[in-house]
Structure 1
């Protein structure tokens, strides 16, 4: 009853607007090999036909606009999105320095020119970076989370993309940034909130080892984290850009990875979000497990059969 009450009060205002539901898609496979057009097309089709979901997973969030294995070629996921009628939350990787970010922008602008409205009509928004602030924070650095970017850098990149898309068919598309609630509430990042049109909220209660994080507490931890992000959003839209629970992986404090726990998290969190909030689940198929040995995938790489019943 409490969860339903929160959903009805907190999310009713978004119900009238178009709501997107999809998965996150990296540019590499679980073995670290590059994904190409056949991979993206196959995954987008799999998502749309996923048993138990009534064809509601029709959107995709990307982390980069550059094809894996190239320095600046547009990612083939863009063409795959057109060919499968999939909406795209564009990603521009922002943690590799100014030169690399410029190539991300070039790939995006090139795609808009070459593919035209068939592409731009499917663009939900443009995300400048993903967890860059977390990786550069005092929380992220001890976790060896990788290279990040500062608030000043992300603000600059947001201004840069606005300049580049002005006068193009991408002008007017919402621009945002994706990060954790701990990054969003940090005072030093307030300038980014002023600069964006939407805030992307990544939430993984499984990894929140600073508090009790057993599956029984997962719903409370998820909603409280979301409330933190919304408290500083100044009324701007908050997209759920990543959330999920692993079916396999090491125990994180009280959190245990298992198919049953993933199913429970999906039922409690996913089914409350789907159709109510722009939500990108983590994830349909695993990517680069060689780095983490954790599986969040709802389906194996070689099968479209879900690991559990996805009916809400």
Structure 2
């Protein structure tokens, strides 16, 4: 997804920060690699899933994107799926309509996309410490951001560049939150884990989870064996440094279902799911869609505890089928997700990520996922 606002700036940004998380480019079905064969053929490209029938005709297209949890010792289990399998006329990843899991009885709806005005203490929020020009935010800037987003139980970050484990940990501690830390580059697991160890400096009390990779199998960057091996390496290093929290890998829910080894090697199943990119889900139905996919992941992983580690809705951009980006729909989608989940979900994201670059597959929405609008 690094392809666009300004050509020269895009090149410089990629060189300076090659590991940052973005939704990938959507391409034609002929460009995809076949990774799973069931009743239909599932072809994938970074976070893009195209379902085709036996004659190779496209049936539906879905995007899936990253994060999820609450600051409890163990995420609440999402029960294995009990819904009926989709019919031949429906997409194989269509959302069922099960009863909400741990539903909120009276969750107040956010009043706007930039000022939620609700109690988010049971939820996790994803956060990226980058300025619009791709430069790293200072500790003062991170602290200023956290003055706006305080009230969450946990914050998820994706990597270790910009010394973000240390800067975000400082802000997290000041707000009494937990940290969902991350290693982004599986091939650099030793160095990135060491940065996390250095940032903790022997005090792991504010750490909940350390993730190893984000959608690396789905986008073809790593094999399943590479990721499983990296999880083991990271877990050993972290435990030797005194860490007793959770270690997982994060991938799309489709990749998790197709490769249960990923969740088997993790302390819980951690899957990203973005209903907006499905194209067949309205904002009001976002929560049920995400819940249905969480149930599918848990079922594929043998009933393992499951967390949706990234989900949300953009406030601007182009319409994708039934998915219409707007501030009102962002509010509706976030509230729908909060109704379906009282915890075990990471809302994406804190602020609009102007440092990212759009491509045709992101529907012009890549900058506009921030629940709180633009950063201070």
Question: What range describes the TM-score normalised by the shorter chain of this pair?
Answer: 0.7 to 0.9
The answer for the alignment partner of 2:198 in structure 1 is: 110
The answer for the alignment partner of 1:46 in structure 2 is: 148
Deviation for aligned residue 1:181: 1.2
The reply to whether residue 183 of structure 1 matches residue 271 of structure 2 is: no
Helix, strand or coil at the partner of 2:260: helix
On the 8 A contact 1:67/1:75 being kept in 2, the answer is: no
The answer for the alignment partner of 2:216 in structure 1 is: 132
Distance, in Å, in 2 between the alignment partners of 1:46 and 1:174 is 28
In 2 relative to 1, CA 196–302 (structure 1 residues): closer, same or farther, beyond 3 Å? closer
In 2 relative to 1, CA 74–289 (structure 1 residues): closer, same or farther, beyond 3 Å? closer
Distance, in Å, in 2 between the alignment partners of 1:6 and 1:298 is 22
Distance, in Å, in 2 between the alignment partners of 1:42 and 1:208 is 34
Q: Select the residue among 291, 294, 309 that pairs with 2:357.
A: 291
Query: Counterparts in 2 of 1:218-237, with a 5 A limit?
Result: 218-237=286-305
On the 8 A contact 1:124/1:174 being kept in 2, the answer is: yes
Deviation for aligned residue 1:151: 0.8
Q: Select the residue among 321, 327, 337 that pairs with 1:259.
A: 327
In 2 relative to 1, CA 40–237 (structure 1 residues): closer, same or farther, beyond 3 Å? farther
Helix, strand or coil at the partner of 1:281: strand
The answer for the alignment partner of 1:309 in structure 2 is: none
The answer for the alignment partner of 1:279 in structure 2 is: 345
In 2 relative to 1, CA 104–20 (structure 1 residues): closer, same or farther, beyond 3 Å? farther
Equivalent pairs counted in the alignment come to 257
In 2 relative to 1, CA 125–5 (structure 1 residues): closer, same or farther, beyond 3 Å? same
- TM-score between the two structures when normalised by the length of structure 2: 0.63
Deviation for aligned residue 1:39: 2.5
The reply to whether residue 197 of structure 1 matches residue 267 of structure 2 is: yes
On the 8 A contact 1:286/1:297 being kept in 2, the answer is: yes
Distance, in Å, in 1 between the alignment partners of 2:212 and 2:287 is 28
Q: Select the residue among 200, 203, 207 that pairs with 1:123.
A: 207
On the 8 A contact 1:20/1:279 being kept in 2, the answer is: no
Distance, in Å, in 2 between the alignment partners of 1:153 and 1:236 is 22
Q: Select the residue among 104, 110, 135 that pairs with 1:33.
A: 135
Deviation for aligned residue 1:4: 8.8
The reply to whether residue 62 of structure 1 matches residue 149 of structure 2 is: no
Distance, in Å, in 2 between the alignment partners of 1:262 and 1:122 is 30
The answer for the alignment partner of 1:21 in structure 2 is: 123
Unaligned runs of 5+ in 2: 1-95, 104-120, 359-363
On the 8 A contact 1:26/1:62 being kept in 2, the answer is: yes
The answer for the alignment partner of 1:310 in structure 2 is: none
Q: Select the residue among 237, 240, 252 that pairs with 1:164.
A: 237
The answer for the alignment partner of 1:7 in structure 2 is: 101
Deviation for aligned residue 1:20: 4.7
Distance, in Å, in 2 between the alignment partners of 1:110 and 1:59 is 20
On the 8 A contact 2:179/2:206 being kept in 1, the answer is: yes
- TM-score between the two structures when normalised by the length of structure 1: 0.74
Going by fraction, where is helix more abundant, 1 or 2?
Answer: 1
The answer for the alignment partner of 2:312 in structure 1 is: 244
In 2 relative to 1, CA 195–90 (structure 1 residues): closer, same or farther, beyond 3 Å? same
On the 8 A contact 1:91/1:127 being kept in 2, the answer is: yes
Distance, in Å, in 2 between the alignment partners of 1:36 and 1:266 is 29
Deviation for aligned residue 1:43: 2.1
On the 8 A contact 1:30/1:286 being kept in 2, the answer is: no
Deviation for aligned residue 1:237: 2.0
In 2 relative to 1, CA 206–152 (structure 1 residues): closer, same or farther, beyond 3 Å? same
Unaligned runs of 5+ in 1: 10-18, 49-54, 137-147, 304-312
In 2 relative to 1, CA 3–32 (structure 1 residues): closer, same or farther, beyond 3 Å? same
In 2 relative to 1, CA 163–216 (structure 1 residues): closer, same or farther, beyond 3 Å? closer
Deviation for aligned residue 1:89: 0.6
On the 8 A contact 1:64/1:75 being kept in 2, the answer is: no
Distance, in Å, in 2 between the alignment partners of 1:178 and 1:4 is 24
Distance, in Å, in 1 between the alignment partners of 2:171 and 2:285 is 38
